[in-house]
Amino acid sequence: MNKLPTFDIRPNGEISNEFLKRNVLTFLQATEYIQNLNYGRNSNKDDLKTIFTDNKGTCSTKHAVLKQLANENDFDTIKLTLGIFKMSADNTPKAGNTLSKNNLKYIPEAHNYLKYENEVFDFTKQNSSSADFINDLLFETEIQPNEINQPKIQIHKNFLINWLHKNNNINYTLDQLWKIREQCIQDLSE
């Protein structure tokens, strides 16, 4: 198994400085710090520093912060990846009730993670693992930290539109499907 490169954090930018202020001195320590933060939506996804003031984050904000940290320290070989996977009761038990109630076996869900030398690293929660979603992956693309909000949402919605078109037995509009998805995400936060 490959490991992410570890490096000393230099004061090369806002995110690097936020970690250094918290005595987080290496990239390895930063991944542990991020992984141990609570899971939850941030007050402002367009300002990555809110992960530090909110003391929590989602897969998007947590991995965007780590990617930005890598960028600031000249490790651009670490990639921020947007994957869309089949979120089901099997791989996401907390979403099971909402999916079942809406007669869905799964819903395509966007997930962010890091890739390095084609290996996947997930720091969303303390026990996160690529095994949670990798076998259910439907789509994958590299994005940048500033693309985790509206661009990510647009990629996800475009995927859902195509998915609904190919699965005409699913009688939901995009808006209805998005509401079901939002409830699944809410279920994860509880």
Residue 147 is predicted with a pLDDT of 96
- When pLDDT is averaged across residues 85-95 and rounded to a whole number, the result is 94
Provide the domain count of the chain. 1
Domain that holds residue 56: 1-190
Q: How far apart are CA 169 and CA 175, in angstroms?
A: 17
Q: How far apart are CA 106 and CA 139, in angstroms?
A: 15
Helix segments in 13-140, DSSP class H:
14-21, 27-36, 50-54, 59-72, 96-101
89-123: b (≥16 Cβ within 10 Å) or e: bebbeebbebbeebebebbbbbbbbbbbeeebbbb
Q: Quick check: 96 pLDDT over 50?
A: yes
- Residues 19-49 have pLDDT tens digits of 999 999 999 999 999 999 998 889 999 999 9
Q: Which value, in Å, is the radius of gyration of the alpha carbons in the chain?
A: 17
Contact status, residue 35 vs residue 19, Cβ threshold 8 Å: no
Q: How far apart are CA 13 and CA 190, in angstroms?
A: 34
DSSP lists the bridge partners of residue 110 as 84
Residue 189 is predicted with a pLDDT of 75
Threshold 0.95, pTM exceeds: no
Q: CB pairs under 8 A, 24+ apart, for 8-13? A: 9/69, 9/73, 10/72, 10/73, 12/72, 12/73, 12/74, 13/68, 13/71, 13/72
- When pLDDT is averaged across residues 73-94 and rounded to a whole number, the result is 95
